[in-house]
A = this chain, B = another copy of it.
Amino acid sequence: MSDAASPKGRATRSRIFEAATREFAFKGFAGARIDVIAREAEINKQRIYAYFGDKDGLFLEVWKRTFELIYEKTQEFLYLTEEDVPDLGRIILAGYMSFHERHPEFWRIFVMENLFGGRHGRPGHTSGDTPYGHLRSLYNIGQKKGIYSNDVSFETFIFVPTAISFFYTSNMKTMSDTLETDLSNPAVKAKLMGEISLMLFGEQGCHVD
């Protein structure tokens, strides 16, 4: 809601934000407790209302930040050049995987929109500004070079590693049970990702004869 003016205020606001992100991520919107956030942030509950209006407002901020995170992530792909084209799929998959590793709360907040979404105002439609454009042109180059199939659209090409990395992280627990393998084990993860890359993108790109 209102912005913090003084440095002290900014610090307080920031501490609330960190605590709220954790709380929402691990308990969900309904399960999250304002009291817990206040205690974790070591501030008075009232400050939350001063800075963020109400619980919804606080969640919205956390939710917005979640979107900024992927945006920032996809920004990194702007540095890819034509010579990365053959490895494009691998690079994207690996990039998304490490992103999830660095932001373990990301998928949690994100999946909530799909679970309970609509309750909270969508953040400013940012999809238009995502740098998918750059990746798309690199992919098109790959298609022209015969590295990627003309029958597989860019949407599909980007959808698959997004799905794989997201699902790997979000369903790690239940899939470990199902496959009877510990997916949180780095060695297991490396092996599986290697095989998945091979399956999706072949030795080089994803030749489909």
Tell me the A residues contacting B by CB distance below 8 Å. 26-31, 108, 110-111, 113-117, 122, 125, 127, 130, 149, 151-153, 155-160, 162-164, 166-168, 170-175, 177-181, 191-192, 195-196, 198-200, 202-203, 206-209
Contact at B162–A163, with CB atoms within 8 Å?
Answer: no
Main SS of the interface on chain A? helix
* B209 and A203 contact, CB distance less than 8 A: yes
A172 and chain B: residue at smallest CB distance: B114
- Chain B residue contacts of A164, Cβ below 8 A: 160, 163-164, 167
Among A110, A111, A181, max chain B CB count under 10 A is at A111
List 17 other contacts, CB 8 Å, given A117-B173, A163-B171, A203-B208: A26-B115, A27-B116, A28-B115, A29-B31, A31-B116, A108-B115, A110-B171, A111-B115, A117-B174, A152-B199, A155-B179, A156-B192, A160-B199, A160-B200, A162-B175, A164-B164, A199-B200
